[in-house]
Amino acid sequence: MKTEKEKKPSNLSRLLAYAGGHRLLTYLSWVLAALSAVLTLMPFRYIWFIIREALETAPDFSRADGMIRNGWLAVLFSLLAVISYILALFCSHCAAFRIATNIRLRLTEHITQLPLGEIEKFGSGALRRIIVNTSGAAETYLAHQLPDQAKAYASIIGMLAFLFLYDRRLALMSLIPAVIGFVTLMSMAGKTVREKMSHYQDALSDMSNEAVEYVRGIPVVKTFGQSVFSFRRFRDAIERYSKWATDYTKELRVPMMLYTLAINSVFIFLLTAGVAFTKGGVTREFLLNMLFYIIITPVVTLMLTKLMHASENNMVVTDALDRIDTVLNVGKLTDTGTAHPQDGSVSLEHVTFSYDGETDALSDISLHIGSGETAAFVGPSGGGKSTLAAIISRFFDPQSGTVRIGGADAKDIPKEELMQQVSFVFQNAKLIKGTILENIRMGRPDASDQEVMEAVRAAQCSDIIEKFPDGLQTVIGTKGVYLSGGEQQRLAIARAVLKNAPVIILDEATAFADPDNEVRVQQAFNALAKDRTVIMIAHRLSTVRNADCIYVIREGKIAEQGSFDALQKQNGIFAEMWDQYQRSVEWSVAS
């Protein structure tokens, strides 16, 4: 047994796990980048040779026979450095593109196998950002930052050799600001700053996710005349992002000022050393050495700046990889593929479910809905109605208990078959930007045009098709083609009719419909529900009067169950809810 916590793999090893056959290109890019760094230093030496020869032969420069040769050597090494660096970037980009592509493929493949409820928990905006931005951060890290980091380290090693080659006193003086800058740099990469970076990225991710949801909700804002501040979650996400961005900036303000001051003060240290070391007079040798250090020490500043950015980028890519892992670590929706539903019945046996592993959203739920029956879930908001429907449709798997569809354990039914067994109509209908035909045909992609039209008529959508010149080929969301909430609802019902699943789940599907559309939607429901098992999540209690069984869900438990008349006679929770509902319907403003 291990007594110590297992060490977390490095960013590099985590990234190279996606490299496949391109791993060697990554290593080769570092070698070429390091070689480029060494080659970059060589021209400084030959320039110093040119200056030395010029001072030795002045004013008779005709004796300077090595200046041209040293000049060409400086040019040659500069060209070799550039070529080596270009080859390094070529290798790193080939590897980075492949790794980023593999990350995106792995993420998208994994997401397609997740329970739908887990996908909803992430949010489409957050998932988009993880797929696009985090893989992009990994790509930039591999393509540019790692080669530059290798080049920076190689340059520092080469610089140390060069600095102590001529005058150790000047070398030490030129290193003092570099050491101060390096120590300050390390303080900016500490645990506290890493936590700030993580919080900053969390706030950025939340804001991205809420922005997507806000844009999707704009039609509702316009319809009901609400202000943008009705989207409190979006506003709060912006404020959280602002707070963390400000805190992160303040955290680095002092060390960044000290770092900038240190790395740009190298000439002050050299000039101070020059004054101190030449009190007895300036020798030609000391002057040459001083010129060499003045020429080459700016490279130290450049390399330290690259290391500073590398340190920040390391934190960014660590956060990116952690976010990728949060998706990949979510368990896939698995099935044994050995069971097949026999009918449209739905049963739950002692089902318990929790979103966070601490508080139960559902607690020991057992119920049976016979094939072809209509059941209604009612109860206070947050009681567990939608969670119960999500468990039945296997958006989530319960921590304990069994869900049976048609007598078969839902976990043993092949995923594709389970999806064909259940249809959903939510209060917020989901339509894609495409033709009306494409939106409806999502219910059954192999359906013929005639079958689609039959579903359109059954769902009371004929008037929607007829009002557009292009009919079924009308593209939703372009050229002024916009649908009301009720119209979108009817198209969603047409999709469900076309799918022809034996189990239908309706989540208060008439919530946003206007009176005219509500009548049509109700007629479409009647066509959809014929000979099928229907599970309704209802807030308008008038819609549940004819249900075979009504389940009152409160605090994650079934508080009451029975027919409408039986629950009325019990004079319990449902009877009180019905009384309140009746009073709200009869309420009016006095004239």
Residue 542 has pLDDT above 80, yes or no: no
Report how far apart the first and last C-alpha atoms of the chain are (Å, whole number). Answer: 80
Question: What confidence tier does 510 reach under pLDDT thresholds 50, 70, 90?
Answer: low
Task: Output the pLDDT for position 508.
Answer: 66
Task: Output the pLDDT for position 225.
Answer: 44
Average pLDDT (312-328) is 80
Residue 86 has pLDDT above 90, yes or no: yes
Average pLDDT (409-414) is 89
Average pLDDT (60-70) is 79
* 12 token code pair: 């590099």
Spatial distance between the Cα atoms of 528 and 356, rounded to a whole number of angstroms: 35
Residue 371 has pLDDT above 80, yes or no: yes
Q: Which of 316-320, 399-403, 573-577 has the lowest mean pLDDT?
A: 316-320
Regarding the domain delimited by 11-328, which CATH topology (the fold level of the hierarchy) does it fall under?
ABC transporter transmembrane region fold (1.20.1560)
Alpha helices in 335-482 (DSSP H): 385-392, 415-421, 436-441, 449-458, 462-466
Query: Boundaries of CATH 1.20.1560.10 in the chain?
Result: 11-328
Spatial distance between the Cα atoms of 40 and 47, rounded to a whole number of angstroms: 12
> Where is pLDDT greater, at 297 or 347?
347
> Where is pLDDT greater, at 539 or 421?
421
Task: Output the pLDDT for position 272.
Answer: 83
The chain-wide mean pLDDT, for the chain, equals 80
* 428 token code pair: 């917020």
pLDDT tens string 267-284: 788 888 888 887 777 777
Residue 562 has pLDDT above 80, yes or no: yes
Strands 360-369, 408-409: pairing is: unpaired
Question: Could you name the CATH architecture of 346-586?
Answer: 3-Layer(aba) Sandwich (3.40)
Q: pTM (2 decimals)?
A: 0.64
Residue 29 has pLDDT above 90, yes or no: yes
Average pLDDT (469-480) is 77
For residue 447, give Cα distances in angstroms to 437, 509, 538: 10, 25, 31
Which of 67-71, 87-91, 214-218, 539-543 reaches the highest mean pLDDT? Answer: 87-91
Residue 212 has pLDDT above 70, yes or no: no
Which of 345-349, 379-383, 425-429, 459-463 reaches the highest mean pLDDT? Answer: 345-349
> Where is pLDDT greater, at 242 or 215?
242
Q: Residue 572's CB: how many other CB atoms inside 10 A?
A: 14
Percent of the chain with pLDDT over 70: 84
Residue 496 has pLDDT above 90, yes or no: no
Average pLDDT (398-422) is 89
61 by Cβ neighbours in 10 Å (0-12 / 13-18 / 19+) ranks as: exposed
Question: What confidence tier does 211 reach under pLDDT thresholds 50, 70, 90?
Answer: low
Residue 81 has pLDDT above 90, yes or no: yes
Give the DSSP H or E segment for 203: helix 191-224
Q: Which of 8-17, 116-125, 332-341, 460-469 has the lowest mean pLDDT?
A: 116-125
Contact 431, 491 (CB under 8 A): yes
pLDDT tens string 420-439: 888 887 766 677 778 888 88
Residue 227 has pLDDT above 80, yes or no: no
> Where is pLDDT greater, at 191 or 112?
112
Task: Output the pLDDT for position 208.
Answer: 66
Query: Boundaries of CATH 3.40.50.300 in the chain?
Result: 346-586
Question: What confidence tier does 309 reach under pLDDT thresholds 50, 70, 90?
Answer: low
Task: Output the pLDDT for position 196.
Answer: 66
Spatial distance between the Cα atoms of 61 and 55, rounded to a whole number of angstroms: 9
Residue carrying structure tokens 């409160």:
554
